[in-house]
Structure 1
Amino acid sequence: MTEALYLDNPYLELVEATVTAVGTDGGLYVDRSIFYPQGGGQPGDCGSIEWGTGLRTNIKNTVYSPDRSSIILIPRGDQDLPQLGQTIIQHIDWARRHALMRMHTAMHLLSVVLPYPVTGGQVGIEEGRLDFDLPEGETVERVSANDAINALIRADHAVTTEWISDDELVANPTLVKTMKVKPPTGAGRVRLVRIGADIDLQPCGGTHVKSTGEIGEVHIAKIENKGRINRRVRLRFGPSAESA
């Protein structure tokens, strides 16, 4: 079982770990990880590991084991690999990770500004998207939505985490905004991400910044119709073309 260090401190940029297994494809199972494994719409982390006498191996992706008990670092091909039991130092690609943290937190704010059921989403380093199930005939007013989300960012609300039991989540189903992607249960507890005192609270296993001000300015770049009531809203960093 891998200790997921990123859950409590997403700002760790390097840490020692031990290789607990090496898969037939070269995937490295580790006892502790600062690398986030892809899932929940967020890509897996990249970076490198240092081991042996100055050897370095590039990591192209991070995934869960099939039973989700372990985290596996996926190396790029044709590289030397550490062996079972070897100590490694994990180095996160911090610029990429931080962009994903900022975008993921911004997408939580987008779900506050547009309080509709979420049918899907994807976090990216330059753009994120959420798909919303809107009532028939209702539209998204882009300018007012941009103003609202950037006001929440400028207010610099704290972003914190807390845990509840599986049973508590079942008793509070309104915490779950996503219609198709359900938070993982079965481990006995579920992690919640809170923004401000009462801005937002929802289950999430991804990585986030510590306050909304760290996100920086964002804008809704595009709104697409994906069905009669489904709207895909694309969020990007920086000011909109209209306000630039």
Structure 2
Amino acid sequence: MKTDELFREDATLLACDATVIGHGEGGVLLDRTVCYPLGGGQAGDTGWLAEGGQRWRVADTRKSKEHPGAIVHRVDGESLPAVGATVRVEVDAARRQAHRRFHTATHLLCALLPYPVDGCSITETYARLDFHTDEPFDKDAIQAGLQRLVAEAHPVRHRWISEEELDANPGLVRSMSVQPPRGLGRVRVLEVEGVDLQPCGGTHVSNTAEIGAIVVTKIEKKAAKTRRVVLGFADASLP
């Protein structure tokens, strides 16, 4: 039982048709989906499933624990579309776009702050990165750096490399807490042209200019060796 992850190749794809391949873990398992499951610090997508005149709200999307490789769409309501049924899968577009903008912005932060990352959270309303360092951070300098990289309109793209290529370039892995998945023979890497290159399975914009007005809302000392940077949108009413 496996789900074809359409979002890995095209983060702009917001809908698809899919077949129900199972029930369990609080939701519906599909043979393919455009919904990103919680992982890598990024929140899962929400959206809808539709069949005929029925419509179900997808409250969360998670990787299946019972069926490795499958994705569970947790839906509101007691009745579920039947196994074998064809459903329309739709992503909450505004939430997805917020995730794409914030996730790409965290890659810019990694370029500006060359320290290992030991925590990450990407949501619809904020993003944060925890850096392993005791160095003080200059909020204004980070803000100016983000604005510059956004304005420079760097192309953003993903590609796949072999596990052997990753092993030969261990410096590509910035995260201390989340390691790239192994055993598939290949690893997805995200490149912000001329700025950042690292393994990442999340959804991103295609150009840094699409991030728009982003602000550093907070810098915190979380521990002796941890500095946290929190990002928000300049206009929180426009995700």
TM-score under structure 1 normalisation? 0.92
Counterpart residue number, 1:152 = 149
For structure 2, the 5+ residue unaligned runs are: none
Kept in 2, the 8 Å contact 1:26–1:81? The answer is no
How many residue pairs get aligned? The number is 233
For structure 1, the 5+ residue unaligned runs are: 240-244
**RMSD of aligned residue pairs (Cα, Å):** 1.2
- Residue type at the aligned position of 2:129: L
TM-fit CA distance, 1:26: 4.4
In structure 2, relative to structure 1, the CA distance for the partners of 1:28 and 1:230 (3 Å cut) is same
**Equivalent of residue 233 in structure 1, options 206, 217, 229:** 229
Aligned to 2:167, the other structure's residue is in SS state: helix
Kept in 2, the 8 Å contact 1:128–1:235? The answer is yes
TM-fit CA distance, 1:17: 0.4
Percentage identity across paired residues of the two chains: 42
Kindly report structure 1 stretches of 4+ aligned residues shifted beyond 3 Å. none
Distance (whole Å) between structure 2 residues aligned to residue 29 and residue 182 of structure 1: 25
Aligned to 1:221, the other structure's residue is in SS state: strand
- Residue type at the aligned position of 1:72: V
1:174 matches 2:171: yes
Q: Deviations over 1:70-124 (max 9, x none)?
A: 111110133x311111000001100011101100000110111111111111001
Aligned to 1:226, the other structure's residue is in SS state: strand
Kept in 2, the 8 Å contact 1:38–1:64? The answer is yes
Distance (whole Å) between structure 2 residues aligned to residue 213 and residue 82 of structure 1: 40
Distance (whole Å) between structure 2 residues aligned to residue 236 and residue 203 of structure 1: 24
- Residue type at the aligned position of 1:39: G
1:203 matches 2:204: no
- Residue type at the aligned position of 1:40: G
- Residue type at the aligned position of 1:95: A
Aligned counterparts, 1:56-205, within 5 A: 56-66=55-65, 67-78=67-78, 80-134=79-133, 136=134, 138-196=135-193, 198-205=194-201
- Residue type at the aligned position of 1:187: L
Distance (whole Å) between structure 2 residues aligned to residue 219 and residue 29 of structure 1: 37
TM-score under structure 2 normalisation? 0.94
Aligned to 2:223, the other structure's residue is in SS state: coil
TM-fit CA distance, 1:58: 0.7
